[in-house]
Amino acid sequence: DCLTYTEGNRSNWPAFAKAPLALTYKNYARRGARYKDQAIVGDVRKSLSAQINMALANGETADIVVVSAGANDGSASLGNYDTAMAKTTLVSLDRSLLYEAIRWTMWKIRTNYPNAVCFAATPIHRASAEPISDLNTAIIKMANRYNFIVIDATNKSGIVRDFEIAGAQGRYLYDGLHPGTSGQQLMADLYASEIAHYYNH
């Protein structure tokens, strides 16, 4: 049942960020998730729209919201900012296009959590290719539009492409894409620092 929330116990950056922030949290994320809707086989939560709708259906409240996705969206089917912003309703947005899917995500969160402090992260490096500048631009432009604080994980996490290996264990990624424990700790350090910085100023 996609509306049943069960807190996972696998290692991930939120688990490491929990202690320094002294926060309770719910993690609706799933490996392989993306902003753009996609045909799902198995876990429907691989689309951010499904994660958000599930959280809302479960009546979740939030003082802080962190959106961390994008690497799986790639550089295809971007759409564009002006077309996305010209649409006047959530239902009119085409979530198969990146700009419109990101707008839906941030608009939906802002509508339902108007008093939350919201963060959006850019993707970390991967071994096989340079960061996708068009993807990062889309995330940053929409984050600025909806007052999401940008966490620049691409350039500030400490994970660098040169030290990672496609399909094998590198310095921080266990397969060139996904962070192992040390990479998760780096990400947690960055995210916790950015969140704490907001609340300490």
pLDDT at 174: 95
User: Scanning the structure block, which residue is given the tokens 């631009």?
Assistant: 137
Pair 36, 98: CB distance under 8 Å: yes
Report d(CA 36, CA 94) in Å as an integer. Answer: 9
pTM of the model: 0.92
Strands 117-121 and 149-151: parallel
Contact call for residues 138 and 78 (beta carbons, < 8 A)? yes
Reported as a single tens digit per residue, the pLDDT across 83-128 is: 999 999 999 999 999 999 999 999 999 999 999 999 999 999 999 9
| Mean pLDDT score across all residues of the chain | 91
**Contact (Cβ atoms closer than 8 angstroms) between residue 138 and residue 99:** yes
Helix axes 13-21, 181-199, angle to 10 degrees: 40
Q: Is the pLDDT of residue 134 over 50?
A: yes
Report whether pLDDT(178) > 50: yes
Q: Which residues of 17-49 are buried (b: 16+ CB within 10 A; e: fewer)?
A: beeebeeeeebbbbebbbbbbbeeeeeebbbbb
Cβ pair 137, 154 in contact under 8 A:
no
What is the average pLDDT across 121-145? Answer: 96
pLDDT tens string 1-42: 344 556 655 678 888 888 888 888 888 888 788 999 976 655
Residue 82 CA to residue 99 CA, distance in Å, equals 9
Question: Comparing 28-42, 75-89, 159-173, which segment has the lowest mean pLDDT?
Answer: 28-42
Tokens linked to 116 = 């939350």
How many CB atoms neighbour CB 59 within 10 A?
A: 6
Strand partners, 62: none
Report the candidate in 137, 159, 149 with the shortest Cα–Cα distance to residue 194: 149
Neighbours of 83 (CB within 10 A): 14
Other beta carbons less than 10 A from residue 178's beta carbon = 15
